[in-house]
């Protein structure tokens, strides 16, 4: 066990992979990862995200009101979200209610009807969500830069576009569910107080064990544009910058880079934050992250400043990134490791976060939490320095949004 974490037991229920992590207490968290993220949308951009919404709109046995009332009676955190790689549906309940909760999730996943009237209502909700994101300059820039950096199937926004949503039909969602919502394309993660025999019994009574074969893995996304891109929007008083750089996909290299980003990044003790916010007082928003899927990864750095400081902002971000290639200190690496250990400790305390992490990592063929923790402990300062230098030499797109 590392930091309170351990590898979950792998149970089998026909084609369905079940990960069981026993944690004493009255609650159990359930997370189902479906390998059906936005990269399998096909010609209907935003289809996976729209499908996620429709899972809560009615099934063969339950209409929308009854479904959500029943979820409220059973427990909390009954929700879902969609990413590039997968869709996650999750629920946390008392141990004695796990079988009923699994039954409700199975009803949503395998027997949703996608009612036409509810589809029209929910489509309006998603279009409103898309418009809200477009009005946020930082999010707008990120999405535009992302679609320039990648080709499909990764380039488009997870929620799709207003045009793609208007062209979408309930039949498209039903076909998506029929193709991707099969046991072989899912991972069920369970963390909590339910016993192992109790879980086996509950899964056996609620989830189908067989179905169609899992769909093929979608084609690997390729990079498209690099260099510099300028976007314009009227009446902005701020300048927004985002820097996307291709990152390695191997587990050890990816983790070494994640530690480097902790040092360079957006926390108050990090180099970029100190330069942009504290030393120069250029802007409020600073971001640094590493986004990745089963066969792609990208480092994302973002910042903003007053419109008149655009050139200084660009120079500061570039200079800080280049200066980091001279090497990090042992003290900086120690702080980065401690931040990571803190996050793992948070996972150890949260049944739901652990269930989601177990399911999503298995669905994307990523190392388990304990394997990841061991790898991080073995990464040295030279590895972190080398990872950052490789990133600076990788294909990069810097995009700026201003008026």
| Position 253 confidence tier, pLDDT thresholds 50, 70, 90 | very high
The residues near 292 (Cβ < 8 Å, ≥ 6 apart) are 247, 249, 254, 298
Residue 225: the pLDDT is 80
Closest CA to 64 of 154, 135, 125: 125
CB 104 within 8 A of CB 91: yes
Q: Are residues 303 and 392 in the same domain?
A: yes
Residue 366 to residue 398: CA distance in whole angstroms: 28
Looking at residue 281, what is its pLDDT?
Answer: 83
List, in sequence order, every beta strand (DSSP E) within 248-366.
Answer: 286-292, 297-306
Name the residue among 209, 290, 303, 201 with its Cα closest to residue 245. 290
Torsion of CA 128, 129, 135, 140, to 10 degrees: -140
Per-residue tokens: 309? 């400081």
Residues 26 and 156 in one domain: yes
Cα dihedral across residues 255, 259, 265, 266: positive or negative: positive
pLDDT at 1 > cutoff 80? no
Q: Which two tokens stand for residue 167?
A: 């062209």
Q: Are both 161 and 235 inside the same structural domain? A: no
Is 61 in the same domain as 165? yes
What's the rounded mean pLDDT across residues 98-105?
98
The pLDDT of residue 378 is 93
Same domain, 299 and 390: yes
Q: Are residues 138 and 246 in the same domain?
A: no
Q: What residues are paired with 262 via a beta bridge?
A: none
Q: In the numeric block, which tokens belong to residue 63?
A: 């209409």
Residue 2: predicted pLDDT: 57
For residues 378 and 283, state if they share a domain.
Answer: yes
What's the pTM?
Answer: 0.94
For residue 3, name the pLDDT band (cuts at 50, 70, 90).
low
Token couple for 106: 């199975």
My answer on whether 119 and 177 are in the same domain is: yes
Cβ-based neighbour number of residue 12 at 10 Å = 11
Same domain assignment for residues 243 and 177 = no
User: Residue 221 — pLDDT band, cuts 50, 70, 90?
Assistant: confident
| Residue 216 belongs to a domain | no
pLDDT tens-digit map of 272-309: 999 998 888 887 789 999 999 999 999 999 999 999 99
Residue 104's nearest CA partner among 90, 114, 94 is 90
Structural domain contains residue 222: no
Pair (310, 370) in one structural domain: yes
**SS3 assignment, position 212:** coil
Rounded to whole angstroms, the Cα distance separating 75 from 342 reads 28
Token duo for residue 166: 């208007």
Q: DSSP secondary structure string, 98-120?
A: HHHHHHHHHHHHHHB---HHHHH
Quick one: average pLDDT of 59-66? Answer: 96
Q: Please give the backbone phi and psi of residue 402, each rounded to the nearest 5 degrees, phi first.
A: -150, 175
Residue 294 placed within a domain: yes
Eight-state DSSP code of residue 3? T
How many structural domains is the chain composed of? 2
Range of the domain at 32: 9-206
Extract the runs of DSSP E, i.e. beta strands, from 23-120. Answer: 27-34, 75-82, 87-94
DSSP secondary structure, 350-402, as one string:
-HHHHHHHHHHHHHTTPPPHHHHHHHHHH--HHHHHHHHHHHHHS-EEEEEEE
Contact 123, 162 (CB under 8 A): no
16 exposed, middle or buried (CB, 10 Å; 0-12, 13-18, 19+)? buried
| 256 and 296 both lie in a single domain | yes
DSSP letter for each residue of 126-191: HHHHHHHHHHSHHHHHHHHHHHHHB-TTSSS-TT--HHHHHH--HHHHHHHHHHH-SGGGEEEEEE
Q: What mean pLDDT value characterizes the chain?
A: 94
Q: Which of 150, 175, 206 lies at the terminal end of a domain, its last residue?
A: 206
The answer as to whether 31 is a domain residue is: yes
Residue 3 within a domain: no
219 inside domain = no
Q: Is the dihedral of CA 311, 314, 320, 321 positive or negative?
A: negative
The CATH code of the domain that includes 254 is 3.30.830.10
For residue 397, being part of any structural domain is answered with yes
> What's the CA gap between 193 and 21, in Å, rounded?
9
Q: Note whether 322 and 231 are same-domain residues.
A: yes
Q: Read off the tokens for 9.
A: 């037991």
CA angle 111, 112, 115 (to 5 degrees): 140
Element at 240 (helix H, strand E): strand 238-246
Residue 61 to residue 345: CA distance in whole angstroms: 40
Residue 218 located in a structural domain: no
């Amino acid at each position: 066990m590392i930091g309170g974490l351990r590898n979950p037991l792998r149970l089998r229920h026909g084609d369905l992979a079940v990960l069981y992590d026993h944690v004493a207490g009255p609650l159990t968290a359930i997370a189902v990862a479906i390998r059906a993220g936005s990269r399998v949308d096909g010609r209907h951009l935003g289809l996976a995200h729209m499908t996620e919404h429709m899972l809560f709109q009615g099934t063969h046995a339950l209409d929308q009101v009854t479904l959500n009332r029943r979820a409220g009676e059973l427990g909390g955190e009954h929700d879902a979200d969609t990413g590039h790689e997968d869709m996650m549906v999750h629920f946390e309940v008392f141990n004695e209610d796990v079988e009923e909760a699994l039954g409700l999730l199975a009803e949503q996943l395998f027997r949703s009807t996608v009612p036409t009237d509810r589809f029209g209502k929910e489509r309006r909700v998603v279009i409103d969500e898309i418009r809200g994101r477009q009005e946020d300059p930082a999010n707008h820039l990120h999405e535009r830069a992302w679609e320039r950096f990648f080709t499909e199937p990764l380039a488009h926004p997870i929620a799709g576009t207003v045009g793609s949503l208007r062209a979408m039909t309930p039949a498209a969602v039903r076909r998506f569910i029929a193709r991707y919502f099969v046991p072989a394309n899912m991972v069920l993660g369970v963390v909590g107080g339910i016993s192992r025999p109790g879980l086996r019994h509950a899964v056996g009574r609620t989830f189908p064990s067989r179905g169609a074969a899992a769909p093929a893995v979608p084609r690997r996304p390729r990079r498209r544009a690099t260099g510099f891109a300028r976007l314009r929007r009227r009446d902005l008083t701020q300048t927004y910058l985002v820097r996307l750089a291709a990152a390695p996909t191997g587990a050890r290299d990816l983790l070494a880079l994640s530690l480097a980003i902790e040092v360079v990044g957006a926390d108050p003790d990090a180099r970029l934050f100190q330069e942009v916010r504290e030393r120069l007082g250029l802007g409020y928003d600073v971001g640094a992250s590493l986004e990745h899927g089963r066969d792609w990864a990208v480092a994302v750095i973002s910042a903003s400043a007053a419109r008149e400081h655009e050139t200084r902002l660009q120079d500061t971000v570039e200079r800080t990134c280049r200066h980091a290639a001279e090497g990090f200190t042992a003290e900086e690496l120690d702080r980065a490791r401690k931040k990571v250990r803190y996050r793992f400790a948070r996972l150890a305390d949260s049944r739901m976060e652990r269930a989601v992490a177990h399911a999503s990592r298995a669905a994307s063929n990523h190392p388990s939490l304990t394997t990841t923790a061991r790898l991080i402990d073995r990464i040295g300062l030279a590895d972190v320095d080398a990872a950052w230098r490789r990133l600076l030499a990788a294909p990069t797109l810097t995009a700026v949004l201003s008026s």
